[in-house]
Structure 1
Amino acid sequence: MKILTSFLFLFISTFLFANEADGWNDLFNGKDLSGWKQLNGKAKYEVVDGEIVGTTVANTPNSFLTTDKVYGDFIFEVDLLVDNEMNSGIQFRSLSDPNDMDGRVHGYQCEVDPSARAWSGGIYDEARRGWLYPLEMNPKGREAFRRGEWNHYHIEAIGNSIRTWVNGIPCADLIDDETAKGFIALQVHSIHDESEAGKQIKWRNLRIKTENLQRRPWTDIPVVNLIPNYLSPQERAQGWRLLFNGETTSGWRGVGKEAFPEKGWHVENGELIVESADGAESGNGGDIVTLDEYSTFEFKVDFKITEGANSGIKYFITEKYGSDMSAIGLEYQILDDERHPDAKKGTDGNRTIGSLYDLIPAHKNKIVHKPGEWNQARLVVKGTRHEEWLKSNNFIATDFVGASVEHWLNNRKVLEYERGTQAFYALVARSKYAKWDGFGGWESGHILLQDHGNEVHFRSIKIRKL
């Protein structure tokens, strides 16, 4: 017995020493909830068999078991097992102030989502901005979580870079500077149905490192960058470049012109602003286009509309059609759907925000931020996914460079389509574009920001060739 006791003591001592020597500190002693406190809801937290167990209780707000300490830069790890029918999350750099929302916990949350949506590892801004990094943009990340099993979470928060992994698979890569430090918390989500009471989530092996932090190698998952007009190291490595630096109009010119418009547009506070002209299309400075042309690319821009505003992002612009201040092309619609009458025109909502204007409506469950708040548009234009279909119908592949197109709004895909197909041309034939021969079939073209006579702000304009 003495030999066994001595061996166990030596093993535990060696483990703890190695843990500390490697810079890790345990956040849970395996016995009680020392160093933690509960905020907001009344869900049950207890220690059972060396694990923290959270149990749902009906008709109480979201509950949070929070660390007494706050953390700025850190690497955090935890293993968790969650009931397949409940939702949870790991708060970090989070806050609770009695003078702010009556002490409601708010801040970054790494999602625990065993539902069919499969957004575990995504980043949500609890009680503040909502979804920052939904996993719809990272299909491989959606496959990381294992239902009904223990899952290992790894969170890095170093400076403005926040990255997550689930079971070793990269899930989210966020660049943001909203909150520099705060507590870590274990969430038990609120429920309002008594039949859902008693469901549990378990946590174990909670540890944190706060010094001599070494980032994991960069990954190739999409980056969500919320810092205006800034490229992160990973974005640069992925081939992104800025089309607007927040200071000048370099890289842009007026439609049909060699220079940027002398009026109607200006740069202010890191934003490229098209000025109001009482709703007259191209009635002031006119549309602007990139100097370069693109065939397959990924394009992102933040935009902020004023009430009742109308604008758009056009692509594959050749300036063959239109006027000396405007051009015709495929258009990602930007609109105040609630106030602008164009939202009710067209067919099935194909003139609403995020839609392929007058051709394909955006998904009705899209996330839209109201006028005065920033939204992000994203265009993904790739090579065709239907090469065999094109060949069998006597199409020439080079005629449809960039045939596969996706529209994204606030990091959620709202539509996708194929150029150069019979279905696409059928849509064109019944639209306002039918009178323009070969509409939408160009191999490459400029990207355009529209002057539709309403004030709209743009920033963080980025592109990479695919």
Structure 2
Amino acid sequence: MSYSKSLFILFATAFSAFACGGGEKQVDEVTETVVEESDWESLFDGQTFEGWSKYGGGEVGKAWKVQDGAIYLDAKNKDGWQTGDGGDIVTNEEFENYHFQVEWKIAPNGNSGIIFFVKDSSEYAYPWMTGPEMQVLDNDGHPDAKITTHRAGDLYDLIESSEETVKPVGEWNLAEIIAKDGKLELHLNGVMVVSTTMWTPEWEEMVANSKFKDMPGFGKYKKGKIALQDHGDEVWFRNIRIKRL
């Protein structure tokens, strides 16, 4: 069903204000770019892993589950040991210019990430060898938070968030990745926290000064899959959708 622009903006603003608990002005600025509700494509039906696979091929690992309408990584068993059979998961489809949205929450002391422009190839062992990452983290509990570019919402190991808008551990956060002809924005809970331009000399210099400097495929691909990271900690993702730009 298609809705008018005005009806959708009203819905999206109300939803974002509810989900984010504030930042309505910034959310309004994002939602006003939406033309029709039908422009959005769901990437998760809330019940199955249709449209997703394990990075490198094959079915999604058994540690990933669908729970209460969310994708859930059951990373550890009752004794605290990692369950295994997880691995990073990726969309079956590649995307180029888009506005991506997902809600996430993380367990105490947890770490995960949303990785994009991923080249799913046997040439690369992990998604992060090609795709930049929007960090998912418990800033108060995980040791990675001591590094300024490794906190929730950061463009991992590249750009620190302009401000911290992440919610307390266990609460849902709305993450958005907007990529258009090299222009990249990361939004967290209705606030743009990172803005940069990819594939420029400045981008190449930034990568050369990061932990990815010895990864020849990192940040090079202009079309790729979107990955959800298994970092060995419990994490949840829901309301996953994309709008092609």
TM-score range, shorter chain: 0.7 to 0.9
C-alpha separation between the residues in 1 aligned to 2:231 and 2:84?
7
Instruction: Give 5+ residue unaligned stretches, structure 1.
Output: 1-109, 111-120, 140-171, 174-219, 224-233, 384-402
Q: Which residue of 1 aligns with 2:49?
A: 249
- The 1:366–1:235 alpha-carbon spacing in structure 2 relative to 1, beyond 3 Å, is farther
CA contact (8 A) 1:350 1:361 kept: yes
Q: Which residue of 1 aligns with 2:168?
A: 370
What letter corresponds to residue 463 of structure 1 in structure 2? I
User: In the TM superposition, what are the counterparts of 1:167-246 in structure 2 within 5 Å?
Assistant: 221-222=33-34, 234-236=36-38, 239-246=39-46
User: In the TM superposition, what are the counterparts of 1:91-106 in structure 2 within 5 Å?
Assistant: none
C-alpha separation between the residues in 2 aligned to 1:124 and 1:250?
30
C-alpha separation between the residues in 1 aligned to 2:117 and 2:241?
16
C-alpha separation between the residues in 1 aligned to 2:237 and 2:101?
10
Greater CA radius of gyration, 1 or 2? 1
Displacement after TM superposition at 1:279 (Å): 8.8
Q: Which residue of 2 aligns with 1:301?
A: 102
Matching of residue 331 in structure 1 with residue 110 in structure 2: no
The normalised TM-score by structure 1 is: 0.45
C-alpha separation between the residues in 2 aligned to 1:354 and 1:327?
16
Identity %: 36
C-alpha separation between the residues in 2 aligned to 1:279 and 1:339?
19
CA contact (8 A) 1:279 1:452 kept: no
What letter corresponds to residue 461 of structure 1 in structure 2? I
The normalised TM-score by structure 2 is: 0.84
Matching of residue 319 in structure 1 with residue 120 in structure 2: yes
Q: Which has the higher strand share?
A: 1
1:379 pairs with one of 154, 160, 177: 177
C-alpha separation between the residues in 1 aligned to 2:232 and 2:85?
7
What letter corresponds to residue 94 of structure 2 in structure 1? E
C-alpha separation between the residues in 1 aligned to 2:47 and 2:70?
8
C-alpha separation between the residues in 2 aligned to 1:318 and 1:374?
28
User: In the TM superposition, what are the counterparts of 1:72-221 in structure 2 within 5 Å?
Assistant: 130-131=21-22, 134-139=24-29, 221=33
User: In the TM superposition, what are the counterparts of 1:414-429 in structure 2 within 5 Å?
Assistant: 414-429=193-208
- The 1:431–1:279 alpha-carbon spacing in structure 2 relative to 1, beyond 3 Å, is farther
C-alpha separation between the residues in 2 aligned to 1:318 and 1:408?
23
Displacement after TM superposition at 1:130 (Å): 3.2
- Structure 1 SS opposite 2:26: helix
Displacement after TM superposition at 1:244 (Å): 0.4
Instruction: Give 5+ residue unaligned stretches, structure 2.
Output: 1-12
Q: Which residue of 2 aligns with 1:184?
A: none
2:64 pairs with one of 235, 255, 265: 265
C-alpha separation between the residues in 2 aligned to 1:286 and 1:326?
10
CA contact (8 A) 1:311 1:452 kept: yes
User: In the TM superposition, what are the counterparts of 1:10-25 in structure 2 within 5 Å?
Assistant: none
1:410 pairs with one of 189, 192, 200: 189
C-alpha separation between the residues in 2 aligned to 1:362 and 1:135?
18
C-alpha separation between the residues in 2 aligned to 1:446 and 1:431?
22
